[in-house]
Structure 1
Amino acid sequence: MATKKKTFDQSKEVRAIARERVGIVKASRPIQPKDPSAKPKHKKPLLPNGDTDPV
């Protein structure tokens, strides 16, 4: 079976031209870093001496 002929997509072309004009678009709002005091998702396993920190 023959491959399908590609047709011109006007909306794709308009977006491509707009991208060339504008360049890289900046994020609408910056991503905020997570709060360091947030709870961890998983608890650390207890060590044999009852300590959680291995150091």
Structure 2
Amino acid sequence: MPKKRKKKKTFSAVQAVREMARERVGSPKPSRLVPAKKTKPEKHKPTLGRLLEDQ
């Protein structure tokens, strides 16, 4: 079987502008994860034994 030819990448203005901006300003800071608001609270209260273990 003959190998497939690599597809030529077309010019993307967006990519070119981003590359130039990274050269001048630097790469953007990584984003932080936002904790989900819909997380369920614990079903059971911690027992006295567990509270004393943590200390």
> Does TM, normalized by the shorter one, top 0.5?
no
Q: Which has the higher contact order (CA 8 A, sep 6+)?
A: 1
TM-score, scaled relative to structure 1: 0.41
